Structure 1
Amino acid sequence: MNSALDLDGLRALRRDLHAHPELAFAEHRTAGVIADRLRGLGIEVTTGIGGTGVVGVITGSAPGPVVGLRADMDALPITEELPRPHASQTEGVMHACGHDGHCAMLLGAAELLVGKPDFAGTVVLVFQPAEEGAAGAPAMIADGVLEKFGIQEIYGIHNIPGIPAGDFAVRPGTQLASFDDLDIVLSAAGGHAMAPHLTGDVIVAGAALVTALQTIVSRRLDPAVLAVVSITQFTAGSTNNVISPTARLRGTARCLDADARDQIERLVGEIAASIATVHGVHVDVTYERRYPCTVNEPAAAARAARVAATVVGDDRVDPNCAGILAAEDFAFFLQQIPGAYAFIGNGPITAESGAVHNPAYDFNDDIIEPGARFLASIARQALTDLS
């Protein structure tokens, strides 16, 4: 296959982004590097979409439809664990999810498309800020990215450690979970530890609530629905001889079914109220809906699987993979227009390259090429199919 990819340059760029990570809506350097790279390819660039988002437009040799390709740019508030040559130079921040690699793959796709623009239509490159919980996709949508650039379909890709490097997986329908935040505050009079009968004990109530919330998935939802309710923080008390007047529980709820999401929200409130009544304390529940399920349009998912097979072979593509409980704000794009989100294997999880959101994680540079070729090819195929 003729290669128009500057792989050495893309690896160097990926490692430069890794060494200079930036958090949500603060991706100023990252956006500048990407914009400069696109301009160097002769691509029309718009910056500042949705805050720090960057958009590049590649026009084909004839008029036609418009297809979007998206990569995320932000890093995580995690301290990098291993002393790599390209390790993060920003204390407490690292690319622990591979967004540096996603940007490199999309820039590689730009090289391929610019190098051979023999397609009818337009490809819009969407470099999105703030995927990690800060909802950069809705910010770009609110800023008119879909309407301004006329995007009709959109595709994205995410690396997955634990899948063989360069293998692809995609699923028609729901591929990634909804993601919601729980914030529960229990309150009572508090008092001396010698006299718990004179107070409401928020710590005992909180402990009971943590246990009771686990019955939502194990006993209240359809066992066929993939879901989880996790309490990840329990804060109460300041000393050993005082029963605290307040306790705070925080966590997350995720599932792969919209009806189950509604059921989880209702049950969290009901269970919290019941536990509070039994223990004689007051409860305030905040259930904040964050990201919806990522739902691939079936025809777009099938197209993604076929295209991936042309890049790496049929035996390295799973066209109907299992959904997982990670969440992605790419979901907001798919609520507006058709498209699909695919996985690409990052290789085995090892001590030198952990799972995503892990301080040992690193993106596998060997998958830049297949990822770039997939993105360029899916854009071409979608344009052809939409014509």
Structure 2
Amino acid sequence: MSAINAAHIAAETEFMSRLIEIRHDIHQHPETAFEEKRTSDLVAAFLENLGLKVHRGLAGTGVVATIKGRHEGNRKIGLRADMDALFIEEDTGLSYTSTVPGKMHACGHDGHTTMLLGAAEKLAQNPDFAGTVYLIFQPAEEGLGGARVMINDGLFELFDCDAVYGVHNGPCEPLGVVKTRLGPMMPAGDTWEVTFKGTGGHGAMPHAATDPTVAAGDFISNLSNIISRNIPSNDKAVISVGHIQAGAFDSPNIIPSNVLVRGTARSFKPQYRDVLEKRIGELAAGLATAHGVEVQYKFIRRYPPLVNHPNETELAVRAAKQAVGEDRVDGACDAIGGSEDFSFMLEKVPGAYVMIGNGDGPDSHFVHTPKFDFNDDLIPFGVAYWLNVVDAELGQNAVG
């Protein structure tokens, strides 16, 4: 194999037309976490038509295909794409808009899947490398940890990768610009839940009640102090409230007996993850005592921090420069606030994760919004990047 530039892939009109058709098909038929049956059927059929050995069933709808190089080599690498959609009503007006009410590909996983399918075709046609490539199509990235489930189901026992790589589109970033960084790139994503419990009562006679709304109000207003007084100013962490539930809309004169507050906590280092869990609970307990109510607290650890490994990050940067040009790669970008369950894979196997710009400008939209759409012009950048990763890892000059 040799280095591939995205422009070479983009110039293959027939190849690109087929990939765009696949991407639009997946986009029209979004499937949410662990329900990606149609998508996994499409992926498996495509890979089998290439003559590849396909394994199905990890995490229910996961698909893994194996491509062996024509040259002798023992190194094995994994390339991962996610397949699931989100519970969002699409509002793009596209000709290939979602046909499923309340669901859409609002994060670009339809494009991630398509890019890896395109790379699969190229690699199957010309396996000019030494070693093995595993193509990992993962369900349920959006909040339910499909990567963790695949691992628990034996992903790395069945497919013992020496390194693993992931790609995501970069929303509102210039088209084709690649960003990554060594070390922590994305934070742990955790969910917390606090329920204040009082007696409730008549809104005109609060002295005759124990009022959980006062405790909840003080709790919400003091959450930000956990960050400013417990996390060093040169580190990053976030606590946000995302859900509040109390009382009945038609009864504003009634003090509710329970107030539920839920939110997210983000942190880049394990010790600060521990601090957030401890201090949110202590704040809730202290305010409950102060206001004479009871409290229940849960802290649910979801995704660990995504931490890129040194050798693989260096290789990813090199592969990206070959794909998009040296001046369009930022190998030391700022950390990103969102979380990603590829972090589970990077806890088990060395690897690297990159973002490739989806396009900026006035018509661009951020992920997880009703108007977001993966940019078809990004496909050749992703395909070229994947091919260059394989060449850098398993090309004959890389064998050693």
Q: Where on the TM-score scale, by shorter chain, does this alignment land: which range? A: over 0.9
- 1:305 Cα offset (Å): 0.5
1:99 match: 109
Cα deviation, 1:185-208, whole Å, max 9, x if unaligned, reads 110111111221222211121111
Distance 2:247 2:279 in 1: 27
SS at match of 1:49: coil
Distance 2:319 2:358 in 1: 19
Give, as a single letter, the amino acid of the residue that structure 2 aligns with 1:356: V
1:57 match: 66
- Within 5 A, what are the aligned runs for 1:1-387? 3=9, 6-64=15-73, 65-238=75-248, 239-348=251-360, 350-351=362-363, 353-384=364-395, 385=398, 387=400
- 1:349 Cα offset (Å): 5.5
Give, as a single letter, the amino acid of the residue that structure 1 aligns with 2:59: G
Cα deviation, 1:70-92, whole Å, max 9, x if unaligned, reads 00000000000121101000000
Does the 8 Å CA contact 2:246/2:259 hold for their aligned counterparts? yes
The normalised TM-score by structure 1 is 0.97
- 1:330 Cα offset (Å): 0.3
Cα deviation, 1:306-345, whole Å, max 9, x if unaligned, reads 1100111110000111111100000000000100000100
- 1:114 Cα offset (Å): 1.4
Distance 2:334 2:313 in 1: 13
Does the 8 Å CA contact 2:172/2:365 hold for their aligned counterparts? no
Distance 2:370 2:228 in 1: 31
Q: Which moved more, 1:121-130 or 1:43-52?
A: 43-52
Per the alignment, do residues 386 and 236 of structure 1 end up closer, same or farther by CA in structure 2, a change over 3 Å counting?
farther
Per the alignment, do residues 369 and 66 of structure 1 end up closer, same or farther by CA in structure 2, a change over 3 Å counting?
same
Does the 8 Å CA contact 1:172/1:320 hold for their aligned counterparts? yes
Q: Percent of aligned positions with the same letter in both sequences?
A: 44
The normalised TM-score by structure 2 is 0.94
- 1:377 Cα offset (Å): 1.3
Does the 8 Å CA contact 2:130/2:399 hold for their aligned counterparts? no
Does the 8 Å CA contact 2:192/2:298 hold for their aligned counterparts? yes
Per the alignment, do residues 292 and 349 of structure 1 end up closer, same or farther by CA in structure 2, a change over 3 Å counting?
farther
Distance 2:275 2:46 in 1: 47
Uncovered stretches (5+) of structure 1, i.e. residues with no partner:
none
Does the 8 Å CA contact 1:68/1:379 hold for their aligned counterparts? no
SS at match of 2:279: helix
SS at match of 1:93: coil
Distance 1:273 1:134 in 2: 29
Give, as a single letter, the amino acid of the residue that structure 1 aligns with 2:26: L
- 1:115 Cα offset (Å): 2.1
SS at match of 1:84: coil
Q: Which moved more, 1:245-254 or 1:112-121?
A: 112-121
Cα deviation, 1:134-176, whole Å, max 9, x if unaligned, reads 1100111111111112211100100011211011011000111
Distance 2:391 2:156 in 1: 19
- 1:219 Cα offset (Å): 2.7
Per the alignment, do residues 350 and 19 of structure 1 end up closer, same or farther by CA in structure 2, a change over 3 Å counting?
farther
Distance 2:219 2:72 in 1: 59
Give, as a single letter, the amino acid of the residue that structure 1 aligns with 2:268: L
- 1:386 Cα offset (Å): 6.0
- 1:246 Cα offset (Å): 0.3
Q: Which moved more, 1:74-83 or 1:194-203?
A: 194-203
Does the 8 Å CA contact 1:161/1:349 hold for their aligned counterparts? no
Give, as a single letter, the amino acid of the residue that structure 2 aligns with 1:244: P
Distance 2:85 2:49 in 1: 25
Per the alignment, do residues 349 and 289 of structure 1 end up closer, same or farther by CA in structure 2, a change over 3 Å counting?
farther
SS at match of 2:57: strand
Give, as a single letter, the amino acid of the residue that structure 2 aligns with 1:305: V
Per the alignment, do residues 137 and 354 of structure 1 end up closer, same or farther by CA in structure 2, a change over 3 Å counting?
same
Cα deviation, 1:183-240, whole Å, max 9, x if unaligned, reads 1111011111122122221112111111111111233211111111001111111111
